[in-house]
């Protein structure tokens, strides 16, 4: 029978761990602190079950986390140019929560909130959070409802539903770090990204507002290749981020499609990503340096990768990018799916 487990207390408020499980024995563990994915246990090609998510053993470690392990990120992921944006003629200055400026929604963003639990069953969890007006500098009382669901085809879906009491900007993404082998680095994983363009970025890591063709660049994953093949490239954006941490344009907003696929040779595990978002940030854990995670495991550079489907980054400041403005009292919905399979067996999507 499904049952939540107490994970700890934050200022006297109970925080829980929830387990979703399907008939294949796949397990997903989620905490309502930051709506974070804490663990995903799947079988490899030998029938052994292992955890493919980087994370921590304690709630205190998640509270002190600087890398957004497993987190839901919002109201806006990534960086915004000059830590500000203008909406309806009003300039909003955002909290500088890192030495380099505003990142991932700030210290009062979705990743550090205790989400309310609305529904929980053996394969479904619905959480809710209200991001208050001017938290971290963002306008609007933004209400977010998020449902995790695990089906018997090994598809984990995340469905979000959002509305605000006033015009606001909104762009949600998911930040679990995957390691399909469960240990070591991810450089020999084979990756496909269905994107022909990547967002150009300046030396401050903010988007320039221009799109670059992936043709003849390290960012061309239209044909599957190993992550490590070009990760040491001299391309200025690779050097800037010490690996991959760029946004690919992968289709139209609202159109559900396969965005990327990745496989790991020794375990045989395959991860397929589907989303109705127009962009995908692919990040190779470039700044995981000496992080102590589960069972005191040391997470190093390239120990994990993130697939972060989202709207165009910094769209609030880029006139050429599709708008991320949400209108008051209208419901906006989106969905992302992770499908877990094996190379030599059933392949979803």
For the purposes of burial, counting CB atoms within 10 Å of the CB of 169, is it exposed (0-12), middle (13-18) or buried (19 or more)?
Answer: buried
Query: Domain-by-domain residue ranges, the chain?
Result: 5-342
**Cα dihedral 222→226→229→233 (10° resolution):** 60
Mean pLDDT of 169-174: 97
pLDDT of residue 116: 98
Q: Look at the domain 5-342 and name its fold.
A: Beta-galactosidase; Chain A, domain 5 (2.70.98)
| Res. 249: pLDDT tops 70 | yes
Question: What is the SS3 string spanning 195-248?
Answer: CCEEEEECCCCCEEEEEEECCCCCCCCCCCEEHHHCCCCCCHHHHHHCCCEEEE
Residue 23, pLDDT score: 96
Digit-coded pLDDT (tens) for 294-325: 999 999 999 999 999 999 999 999 999 999 99
- Output the pLDDT for position 25: 96
Determine contact, residues 267/296, Cβ cutoff 8 Å: no
Q: Residues at the annotated binding site for beta-D-galactose?
A: 175-177, 245
Predicted local confidence at residue 3, as pLDDT = 73
| Token pair for 44 | 């490899």
Model confidence at 218, in pLDDT bands (50, 70, 90)? Answer: very high
Catalytic residues: 175, 308
**pTM of the predicted structure, to 2 decimals:** 0.96
Helix, strand, coil distribution of the chain in percent, nearest 5? 5, 45, 50
Mean pLDDT of 3-30: 96
The residue-averaged pLDDT of 180-194 equals 98
């Amino acid at each position: 029978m499904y049952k939540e487990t107490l994970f700890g207390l934050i200022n006297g408020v109970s925080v829980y761990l929830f387990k979703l499980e399907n008939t294949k024995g796949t397990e997903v563990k989620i905490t309502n602190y930051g709506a974070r994915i804490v663990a995903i246990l799947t079988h490899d090609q030998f029938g052994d079950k292992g955890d493919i998510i980087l994370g921590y053993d304690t709630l205190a470690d998640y509270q002190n986390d600087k890398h957004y392990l497993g987190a839901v990120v919002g109201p806006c992921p990534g960086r915004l140019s000059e830590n500000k944006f203008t909406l309806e003629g009003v300039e909003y200055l955002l909290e500088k929560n890192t030495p380099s400026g505003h990142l991932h929604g700030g210290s009062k963003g979705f990743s550090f909130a205790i989400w309310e639990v609305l529904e929980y069953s053996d394969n479904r969890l619905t959480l809710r959070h209200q991001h208050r007006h001017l938290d971290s500098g963002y306008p609007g009382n933004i209400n977010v409802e998020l449902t995790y669901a695990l089906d018997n085809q090994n598809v984990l879906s995340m469905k979000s539903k959002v509305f605000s009491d006033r015009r606001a900007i909104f762009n949600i993404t998911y930040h679990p770090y995957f390691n399909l082998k469960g240990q070591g680095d991810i450089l020999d994983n084979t990756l496909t990204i269905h994107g022909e363009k990547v967002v150009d970025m300046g030396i401050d890591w903010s988007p320039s507002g221009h799109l670059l063709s992936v043709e003849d660049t390290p960012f061309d994953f239209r044909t599957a290749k190993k992550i490590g093949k070009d990760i040491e490239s001299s391309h200025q954006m690779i050097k800037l981020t010490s690996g991959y941490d760029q946004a690919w344009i992968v289709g139209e907003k609202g159109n559900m499609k396969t965005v990327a696929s990745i496989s790991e040779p020794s375990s045989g595990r395959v991860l397929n990503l589907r989303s109705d978002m127009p962009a995908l940030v692919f990040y190779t854990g470039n700044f995981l340096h000496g992080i102590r995670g589960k069972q005191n495991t040391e997470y190093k550079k390239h120990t994990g990768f993130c697939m972060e489907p989202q709207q165009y980054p910094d769209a609030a400041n880029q006139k050429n990018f599709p708008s991320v403005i949400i209108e008051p009292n209208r419901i906006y919905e989106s969905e992302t799916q992770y499908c877990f399979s094996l190379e030599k067996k059933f392949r979803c999507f």
